[in-house]
């Protein structure tokens, strides 16, 4: 179990009236209810300052704010869980701190020092501890956000930035197995591009193609490489993993694929279980061939919001392929259960993944 011992100068303003009693914890939507407080820090062009826990509230932003025009903004996603004894645990937040800084470098933004990221998180979650749900399948989704704050309509990197951490108690992101369509026209990311950065533009560009797939009855896309549309990349909301011939197969990360923390955790757990792993290019033709000859045993998405999301159907070139029954998916069901047990503190954290608040 990780702990942090950080002495930061963080000011504190408590909400006048908590909204906690208004929340129905038995029916939590995803991402609509925010907790009482947020953590905020400002970068003035030289240094991070004015670290504070403040009431979650609207902010005033100039119409000339650079983020609104040019999208110089990045974010992260992580989750906190409450154990049976009432302890709050966060899943691998130091990984998110590191990934946010990789995104920051790519988007020409200042890095957020890990002690501010993790120290701010500790302070915020200590304040809003009561918001971490205890109902089955729910958790506290944590959204760190870094965005440009200069007021300037010319195209240049902002000098000033704001870092915020906000939280929402959430239920499932997908509440049933997902149907995915292989996208072979639109492109999410290319080599040399920003696909690995968790930046708004990647998500904005996915909206039209995803909506078109939703109109056809799918939930999500399988993005393919931008050059040939031949190889599996990721799903935009999660990384993609397959069990083919008793081996766990997933696309290697690179410029165009998000280096998912759930993805890398699944790979580590699979390795520890003795499951053979292949991180490599997976051609759509191989995937469809494996569905046809029965060697594809399991398909699932892995992400913070999505957790382990079973895939029930894959659409390709107008044909819908139904995948094997969820109950028989030994590997992903086992991984899901083991992850849940770890996150809720029901098994020992032998890898030191959980940060205690
Ligand atoms: C996450 O899983 O944390 C994400 O940021 C994905 C987003 C589509 C909700």
29, pLDDT greater than 50: yes
CATH tag, 178-343 = 3.20.10.10
Cα gap 309→241, rounded to integer Å: 10
Q: Ligand 1 centre and the CA of 292: distance in Å?
A: 31
Domain boundaries, the chain: 11-172, 178-343
Distance from chain centroid for Cα 256 = 16
Q: Whose CA is nearest to atom 6 of ligand 1?
A: 237
Average pLDDT over residues 338-353: 96
Element holding 53 (H helix, E strand): strand 48-55
267, pLDDT greater than 60: yes
Q: Is the CB of 303 under 6 A from ligand 1?
A: yes
Element holding 312 (H helix, E strand): strand 307-316
Q: What is the DSSP string of 212-277?
A: HHHHTT-SEEE-B-TTTS-BB---SSSEEEEEETTEEEEPPPBTTB---HHHHHHHHHHHHHT--E
SS3 sequence, 16-36? Answer: CCCCHHHCCCCCCCCCCCCCC
Q: Is the CB of 77 under 6 A from ligand 1?
A: yes
Which tokens belong to 280? Answer: 């490599």
At 295-322, the pLDDT tens digits run: 999 999 999 999 999 999 999 999 999 9
- Per-residue confidence (pLDDT) for residue 6, from 0 to 100: 55
Q: What is this structure's pTM?
A: 0.95
Average of per-residue pLDDT values in the chain: 96
DSSP classification of residue 65? B
Query: Which of 231, 227, 251 has its CA nearest to residue 241?
Result: 251
Choosing among 3.30.1600.10, 3.30.470.10, 3.30.2290.10, 1.20.1250.10, the CATH entry for 11-172 is: 3.30.470.10
Q: Whose CA is nearest to atom 8 of ligand 1?
A: 237
Of 171, 306, 308, 309, the residue with max ligand 1 atoms within 8 A of its CB, to mutate for a pocket test, comes to 306
- Per-residue confidence (pLDDT) for residue 3, from 0 to 100: 46
- Per-residue confidence (pLDDT) for residue 8, from 0 to 100: 86
Total residue length of the chain = 357
227, pLDDT greater than 80: yes
At 104-138, the pLDDT tens digits run: 999 999 999 999 999 999 999 999 999 999 987 89
At 228-240, the pLDDT tens digits run: 999 999 998 999 9
């Amino acid at each position: 179990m990780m702990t942090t011992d950080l002495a930061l100068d963080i000011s504190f303003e408590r909400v006048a009236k908590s909204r906690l009693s208004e929340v129905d914890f038995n029916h939590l939507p995803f991402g609509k209810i925010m907790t009482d407080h947020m953590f905020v820090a400002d970068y003035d062009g030289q240094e991070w300052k004015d670290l504070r826990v403040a009431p979650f509230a609207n902010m005033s932003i100039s119409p000339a704010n650079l983020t609104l025009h040019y999208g110089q903004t990045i974010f992260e996603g992580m989750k906190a869980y409450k154990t049976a004894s009432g302890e709050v645990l966060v899943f691998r937040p130091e990984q998110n701190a590191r990934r946010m800084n990789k995104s920051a470098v790519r988007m020409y933004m200042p890095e957020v020092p890990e002690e501010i990221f993790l120290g701010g998180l500790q302070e915020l979650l200590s304040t809003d501890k009561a918001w971490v749900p205890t109902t089955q399948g729910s958790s506290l989704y944590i959204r760190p956000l870094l965005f440009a704050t200069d007021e300037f309509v010319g195209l240049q990197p902002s000098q000033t930035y704001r870092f915020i951490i906000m939280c929402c108690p959430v239920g499932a992101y997908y509440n049933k197995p997902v149907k995915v369509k292989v996208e072979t026209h639109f492109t999410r990311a290319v080599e040399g591009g920003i696909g690995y950065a968790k930046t708004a533009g990647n998500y904005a560009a996915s909206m039209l193609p995803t909506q078109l797939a939703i109109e056809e009855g799918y939930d999500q896309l399988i993005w393919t490489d931008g050059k040939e549309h031949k190889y599996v990349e990721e799903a935009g909301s999660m990384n993609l993993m397959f069990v083919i011939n008793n081996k766990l197969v997933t696309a290697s990360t690179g410029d165009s694929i998000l280096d998912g923390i759930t993805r890398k955790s699944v790979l580590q757990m699979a390795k520890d279980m003795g499951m053979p792993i292949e991180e490599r290019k997976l051609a759509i033709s191989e995937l469809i061939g494996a569905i046809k000859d029965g060697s594809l045993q399991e398909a699932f998405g892995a992400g913070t919001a999505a957790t382990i999301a079973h895939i029930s159907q894959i659409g390709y070139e107008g044909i819908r392929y139904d995948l094997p029954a969820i109950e028989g998916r030994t590997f992903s069901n086992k991984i899901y259960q083991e992850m849940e047990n770890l996150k809720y503190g029901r098994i020992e954290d032998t890898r030191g993944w959980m940060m205690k608040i």
